């Protein structure tokens, strides 16, 4: 622990996974804010029953690469996790809870296969309920390698990557803010999983990944912004 490092920051750094011999993923040329892509409006009423979604939820890993997801499915998943639920001008009220309504997590996406949307790396724009495409290209093998060679990350439609910005919550909660970041990530992962079930999609959360390689993929420094949780979604075989 360095003299200027807080206990929470030291814990996060000390529990990272790293590849022996150095990173296999090169930093991606990220263009910010990127090209904006509108998504269809989400369906916010009726839909599949919550109790049935909870009962049938399973972690599914065998995805069908020949079946791309749709923009409507993607929009629904975003709304179920970080969609605004009160007023478009107030981004505190979202589908998932957050300590102090500070929402220290941003949603990035590795897009493998979504019809009508280029493959690449994107970030969810909460207020606009759309995507900012930061880099185009096929990054399916890179994200699978960063996820400890788990091929489901290459075969799925999309990989959700939740990136924490500790500065949003640490002024209020100090080092305990790190606990709240991980709790918030759990809420997002759970709601994504249930939304995927309701849409007839497969989903599996990933906690085992090479931190700096995932950070390099989405263009964050691993300190002021750092990946904390992944989840894969797509059509299963």
Give the helix ranges, DSSP H, for the chain.
7-14, 50-56, 71-82, 140-146, 152-155, 170-173, 177-198, 211-218
Kindly tell me if the per-residue pLDDT of 3 is higher than 80. no
Kindly tell me if the per-residue pLDDT of 1 is higher than 90. no
- CA pair distance 216, 212, nearest whole angstrom: 6
Q: What is the pTM of this model?
A: 0.95
Structural domains in the chain, sorted by start: 62-206+221-237 (3.40.109.10)
107 DSSP β-pair partners? 162
User: What percentage of residues in the chain have a pLDDT greater than 70?
Assistant: 99
**pLDDT tens-place string over residues 217-236:** 999 999 999 999 999 999 99
Residue at token pair 């500790």: 166
**pLDDT tens-place string over residues 156-185:** 999 999 999 999 999 999 999 999 999 999
Helix (H) / strand (E) element for 93: namely none
Nearest to 78 by CA among 113, 52, 43: 43
User: Rounded mean pLDDT of 72-76?
Assistant: 98
Specify the range with the lowest mean pLDDT, choosing from 24-28, 87-91, 116-120, 193-197.
24-28
């Amino acid at each position: 622990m360095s003299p200027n490092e807080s206990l929470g920051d030291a814990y996060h750094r000390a529990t990272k996974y790293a590849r022996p011999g150095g990173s296999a993923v090169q930093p991606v040329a990220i263009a910010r804010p990127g090209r904006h892509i509108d998504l269809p409006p989400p369906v916010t009423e009726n839909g599949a029953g919550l109790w049935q979604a909870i009962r049938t939820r399973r972690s599914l890993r065998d995805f069908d690469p020949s079946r791309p997801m749709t923009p409507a499915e993607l929009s629904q998943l975003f709304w179920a996790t970080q969609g605004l639920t009160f007023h478009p001008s107030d981004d505190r009220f979202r589908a998932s809870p957050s300590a102090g309504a500070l929402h220290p997590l941003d949603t990035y996406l590795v897009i493998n296969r979504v019809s009508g949307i280029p493959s690449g790396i994107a970030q969810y724009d909460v207020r606009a309920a759309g995507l900012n495409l930061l880099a185009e290209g096929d990054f399916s093998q890179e994200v699978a390698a960063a996820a400890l060679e788990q091929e489901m990350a290459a075969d799925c439609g999309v990989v959700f990557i939740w990136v924490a910005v500790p500065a949003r919550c640490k002024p209020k909660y100090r080092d305990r803010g790190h606990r709240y970041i991980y709790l918030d990530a759990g809420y997002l992962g759970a709601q994504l999983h249930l939304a995927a079930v309701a849409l007839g999609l497969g989903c599996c959360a990933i906690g085992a990944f090479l931190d700096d390689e995932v950070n390099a993929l989405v263009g964050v420094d691993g300190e002021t912004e750092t990946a904390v949780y992944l989840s894969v979604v797509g059509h299963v075989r």
